[in-house]
Structure 1
Amino acid sequence: MRGADPETVRRALESGEPFPGTAGFAGRLDGRLVRDVLGRQPLFGTPADWGFSPADVSATAPTPVPPGHVRERVDGELVDRRRWSLPDPPVADDTEAVEAVERAVHGAVTGVDDGSLAVAFSGGVDSALVAAGVPDAPCYVAGFPEAHDVAAAREAAAAMDRELRVVELTHADMERAVPRVVAATGRTNAMDVAIALPLYLVAERVAADGVDRLAVGQGADELFGGYAKVVDPAADDRVAATTVRGATRETIRSLPDQLARDALTLRAAGVEPVTPLVADRVVTAALPLPGHLLATPDERKIALRRAAAGWLPDDVVTADKKALQYGSLVSRELDRLARQAGFKRRMDRHVDRYVESLID
């Protein structure tokens, strides 16, 4: 069992409690495979042939255990049974809601064991909160020299008086890493590869520096209303919901797929991921937030920023954050490499096809 002790998981199975105080769990228990409600730990295969990555399973293309499910053999048939569902609590009072977020986030990030730990640091409020919880851990940022994330990380690290190590990316780095990322994740689409590449390359540097755990701020955008598409969901065809809370729940449901990709990527680079902002206590505090504390046309991640005020420098609390693939410029440069290799934009899936060519 990874992420929790077996007895905690047994109690959660008996009670149906989706958030029993862990940071996510998965593994084999009493002849069954179990995976937590947010899929924070990837899990593949069958009770007789299973693992935490596809490479651990002897079968070709093993299927992942769905989040919140138990996988077992029943009368010789492999069955997935849902055991936990994402709660839908009533909206909380504004003051109580922000205080709950502050307590949960502070407890989660300061509770991280800082032994042999580094922080993936982009200069935004998410990674800054993680870094604040482990003040002695070195911070790393990956990007091309002119990337937004590199400049933002330098400014934030200076404001927080933190050591920052910059991993300057090159085209050769990307071409070398693409096959490794694809092998680890099983994904060749441009979006997933562009997100995974900077994670892999910063983790590779962290491992080379003798550190074997990397703390990341993943999950905060999904939980706290960090995406533009949740601001006015009724007018945005990227979400089905018509309210900010509803659209935020849609992004939360996307977490299992994203967290699995990131965990597999980081482990392939030689480090173990640490994700305090998706700990049970943080998710429990985020779910009751009213829409106006998630996102408005003027601000996103409102409750999280209020919780960070007074702990982080003001400029870091309010800092703009680009998505990893754009803030590092990896998405732009992956497109450039594809076109240089003859995969023009007029071609369908031109970057996907370039990625596939590197695998071939």
Structure 2
Amino acid sequence: MSRIEPTIKNKAYALRRLKQLLYDAVRIRLPDQKFGLLFSGGIDSIVIARALKDSGREFTCFTAATDEGCADIVNSRRAAQVLGLRLRYWIMPQDEVESYLKKIIPLIRDSNPISVGVALPIYTASELASRDGCKAVFSGTGADELFAGYNRHKHVADLRGLNRECYYDVLNCYKRDLYRDGVITRDNGLELIAPYLDSAVVDFALRIDPGLKIFKGDPALDAHSDSRDRIINKYILRELALKLNIPKSIAFTKKKAAQYGSGFDRAIERLAKKHGYKYKSTYLEGILTPAVRQAQKSFGFLVAEWNPRVY
């Protein structure tokens, strides 16, 4: 495990090298055909958007939610306007959500409310990209795992163990997120491209000092952070965004998880209540067919046999 020890403590070097590796990861994966970016207005997809824009290639950002006022739509529109990005978004009516659930749950072989809530905006944004003629989509998958983006990372008792936790998070990402996102995009005729999961990016990110990932307190950032929460996650990635001339007001915006920022979690909750279920999980489990339930038990084998092109 020595390769994941926090050996990179120099902030300037970390920023310079991280930019180089991410830009290389994007550049070598630029497809010949039309492509897009799964976009939420959060720091993960914003950094990829900047790298794509700096490549000189034309692309469109795709977002999906249940309401114009959802955080993902508000943040995506604001970021697109400031950064000069082409954005298309899809507002899904409540009465269409259930039909998509019946399509997505058997596809991803998972009825967990969190996983399904994340899958819905990915599927609908991917469908929008496919209709727009895209053959591939870039994604910010992997950034939370590499740069300590989850809320639990903020509360790690000993930061010296943070990179070890990030290491295992990356391993779980392949089973939990990449499988789900891969089958969703493939179902829409798209190739999934995840630059953060480039091997060189992963190796470097797991060597960045935890203090550059979880930063505790900075008066200069108070205007752009919750005064009740001075702990800043993904700090090095946000600092990289500043180096890429992304405004601080965007780079340090707190983002809701995909299922909440898109409004799909609330939509699932409404459907559960409509059908007389107390819990979302019980409602979603009912959508699984017996065959899929059996396949779900063998999920680990399914993932092991599936060979995604993380390229």
Provide the TM-score with structure 1 as the length reference.
Answer: 0.69
- Give runs of ≥4 in structure 1 deviating > 6 Å: none
Question: 1 or 2 for the larger relative contact order (CA 8 Å, sep ≥6)?
Answer: 2
Tell whether 2:202 aligns with 1:283: yes
| Structure richer in strand, relative to its length | 1
Tell whether 2:262 aligns with 1:333: no
Q: Distance in 1 between matches of 2:48 and 2:180?
A: 20
Within a 5 Å distance, the mapping from 1:1-360 to structure 2 comes to 87-95=3-11, 96-114=13-31, 115-135=33-53, 136-145=58-67, 146-234=69-157, 243-257=161-175, 258-297=177-216, 298-314=231-247, 315-344=249-278, 350-359=279-288
1:111, CA displacement in angstroms? Answer: 3.3
Q: Which amino acid aligns with 1:333?
A: A
Q: After superposing the two structures, state which structure 1 stretch, 265-274 or 327-336, moved more.
A: 265-274
1:312–1:120 CA distance, 2 compared to 1 (3 A):
farther
SS at structure 1 position matched to 2:254: coil
1:242, CA displacement in angstroms? Answer: 7.4
Q: Distance in 2 between matches of 1:244 and 1:296?
A: 12
1:134, CA displacement in angstroms? Answer: 2.3
Q: Which amino acid aligns with 1:88?
A: I
SS at structure 2 position matched to 1:100: helix
- For the Cα contact (< 8 Å) 1:194–1:331, is it kept in 2? yes
1:224–1:90 CA distance, 2 compared to 1 (3 A):
closer
- For the Cα contact (< 8 Å) 1:188–1:356, is it kept in 2? yes
Consecutive unaligned residues of structure 1, counting only runs of 5 or more, are 1-84, 236-240, 345-349
| Partner residue in 1 for 2:307 | none
- For the Cα contact (< 8 Å) 2:66–2:94, is it kept in 1? no
Q: Distance in 2 between matches of 1:86 and 1:124?
A: 32
Q: Deviations over 1:203-239 (max 9, x none)?
A: 111111221211111110110111110112129xxxx
Q: Deviations over 1:186-216 (max 9, x none)?
A: 1111111111111011111111122121111
Q: Deviations over 1:56-83 (max 9, x none)?
A: xxxxxxxxxxxxxxxxxxxxxxxxxxxx
Q: Distance in 1 between matches of 2:137 and 2:241?
A: 21
Q: After superposing the two structures, state which structure 1 stretch, 89-98 or 164-173, moved more.
A: 89-98
SS at structure 2 position matched to 1:309: helix
Q: Distance in 2 between matches of 1:86 and 1:143?
A: 42
Larger radius of gyration: 1
Q: Which amino acid aligns with 2:286?
A: S
| Structure richer in helix, relative to its length | 2
| Partner residue in 1 for 2:226 | none
Q: Deviations over 1:257-278 (max 9, x none)?
A: 2211111122123322111111
Q: After superposing the two structures, state which structure 1 stretch, 133-142 or 216-225, moved more.
A: 133-142
Alignment RMSD (CA, Å):
2.1
Provide the TM-score with structure 2 as the length reference.
Answer: 0.79
